[in-house]
Amino acid sequence: MIFKKILNLNFFLIFVILILITIGTAALYSAGEGSFSPWAEKHIIRFGVLFFLMIIIALIDIKFIFKYSYPLFFLCLILLFSVEIIGIFGKGAERWIRIFGISVQPSEIIKVAIILALAKYFHNLRFDTIGKIYHIIIPAFFILVPFVLVLLQPDLGTAISIFLLGVMILFIAGIRIWKFVLGVIISLSSFPFLWGLIKPYQQKRFLSFLNPELDPLGQGYQLIQSKIALGSGGLAGKGFLEGTQSYLEYIPEKQTDFIFTLIGEEFGFIGTMFLLFLFGLLITICFYISIKSYHIFGRIICLGVACNIFIYVILNMAMVTGLLPVVGIPLPLISYGGTAMLSVMVSFGLLLNVCIYYNVKKINQ
């Protein structure tokens, strides 16, 4: 039985994942100045462990996942709330907690829980009733409570990604477009109020995004150096391990938020476009599995994962190229970071699970 399930896995998805993790490991090897320590080695080990977790999740009966989607969300919400009490301070914010000696960032894990909770909620609704105002209250709770808790850490980048993910899933589920237009108008109208809520250093980041040259040695430094590195890569790049901006330590956080810059410098426009193609392929596979699924639960999971990957990629690449303010978003499977990889690999496990149980008709029994 298990062997038959394994044969139903989407091996093309696994193949794309392996290519991305290989590129990520090579980039972190370069970031370590030609050494597997300190980043590339841990990156490989984490992936190895999480790869088996992905397969285990893929083989679990989808009815079990459906049944415990809400409890999982509230468990993740408790972990997120615990950051306010026992959070570990780092990089200007309290984002991590320690579980059995391991640092975990609940704000990354909650994204998967939001996808599951919203997928279960909309699975139980008739399509013709989705547009009712009172049917938006519970989904709004699933989105806004984590959004506010993450914003208070403060982690503006992750909070924005959570909000965007939730809104995209609402759109996918069938919420009418005029409600989104109204939401945008309200959001723009409340910008002056929100500006007063964010921290001074976050305000400086936004202002430096508008004009990095105002503070070239402070808030604008990362963005200026990132643009220089990307531009110096040209069409084909300087070559593997030949990135001068990276090796001379001009690029801060080159192993996490600015890993795309390192790849752009060493492999140029061709390398970055190939990486973008792989992520596009990954999102396309999500859509394919979604179309294949007989049940709404599986469809929303797949499209939710696709949206999450899209948000990760677009925000990260836009951030390092100066199209958006620097907000600290990792690049999936490429950037160094344990919890982000955990969140992404669990998402892929859910994708593979839907691929196996795509034809289950009565998922809520």
Does residue 263 sit within a domain?
yes
Would you tell me how many other CB atoms lie within 10 Å of the CB of residue 240? 14
Residues in contact with 256: Cβ distance below 8 Å, sequence separation at least 6, in sequence order: 330, 335, 336, 337
* Cis peptide leading into residue 154 (ω within 30°): yes
Residue 359's pLDDT is 84
Does residue 92 sit within a domain?
yes
Distances (CA, A) of 141 to 80, 106, 117, 305: 14, 17, 11, 20
Q: Report which of 313, 333, 337, 315 is spatially closest to residue 324, judged by C-alpha positions.
A: 315
Does residue 364 sit within a domain?
no
DSSP H or E stretch at residue 136: none
Q: Report which of 22, 2, 59 is spatially closest to residue 333, judged by C-alpha positions.
A: 22
Contact 117, 68 (CB under 8 A): no
Structural domain containing residue 80: 2-356
Does residue 363 sit within a domain?
no
Does residue 295 sit within a domain?
yes
Residue 210's pLDDT is 57
Residue 13's pLDDT is 95
Q: Two tokens at 44?
A: 């490989």
DSSP state of 324: S
252: burial class by Cβ within 10 Å (0-12, 13-18, 19+)? Answer: middle
Residues in contact with 80: Cβ distance below 8 Å, sequence separation at least 6, in sequence order: 106, 107, 110, 146, 149, 150
Distances (CA, A) of 106 to 61, 292, 326: 25, 31, 21
260: burial class by Cβ within 10 Å (0-12, 13-18, 19+)? Answer: buried
Task: Give CA–CA dist 70/120, Å, rounded.
Answer: 8
Q: Two tokens at 142?
A: 């699933």
Residue 53's pLDDT is 95
Residue 22's pLDDT is 95
Q: How many domains does the chain have?
A: 1
Task: Give CA–CA dist 24/299, Å, rounded.
Answer: 29
pLDDT tens for the chain, residues 1 to 365: 677 788 888 899 999 999 999 999 999 998 888 888 888 999 999 999 999 999 999 999 999 999 999 999 999 999 998 887 776 655 555 577 777 677 788 889 999 999 999 999 998 887 667 767 777 889 989 998 999 888 887 787 888 899 999 989 988 887 776 566 666 666 666 666 665 656 665 666 665 555 555 555 555 667 777 778 788 888 888 888 877 766 556 666 778 888 888 898 889 899 999 999 999 999 999 999 999 998 899 999 999 999 999 999 999 998 888 777 777 788 999 998 888 999 999 999 999 999 999 888 778 76
Residue 156's pLDDT is 79
Task: Give CA–CA dist 204/161, Å, rounded.
Answer: 20
Bridge partner list, 90: 93
Does residue 327 sit within a domain?
yes
Task: Give CA–CA dist 70/77, Å, rounded.
Answer: 10
Full-model pTM: 0.89
User: Residues 179-228: pLDDT tens digits?
Assistant: 666 666 666 666 666 656 566 656 666 655 555 555 555 556 677 777 78
Contact 96, 105 (CB under 8 A): yes
Angle (CA) 69 75 80, round 5°? 125
Does residue 184 sit within a domain?
yes
Residue 309's pLDDT is 96
**Terminus-to-terminus CA distance in the chain, angstroms?**
21
Residue 131's pLDDT is 66
Q: How many helices (H) and strands (E) does the chain have?
A: 16, 3
User: Residues 146-175: pLDDT tens digits?
Assistant: 998 888 877 878 888 999 999 899 888 877
- Return the amino acid letter for 339: T
Task: Give CA–CA dist 276/285, Å, rounded.
Answer: 14
Residue 155's pLDDT is 80
Residue 71's pLDDT is 95
Does residue 21 sit within a domain?
yes
Task: Give CA–CA dist 143/31, Å, rounded.
Answer: 36
Q: Two tokens at 60?
A: 């679990």
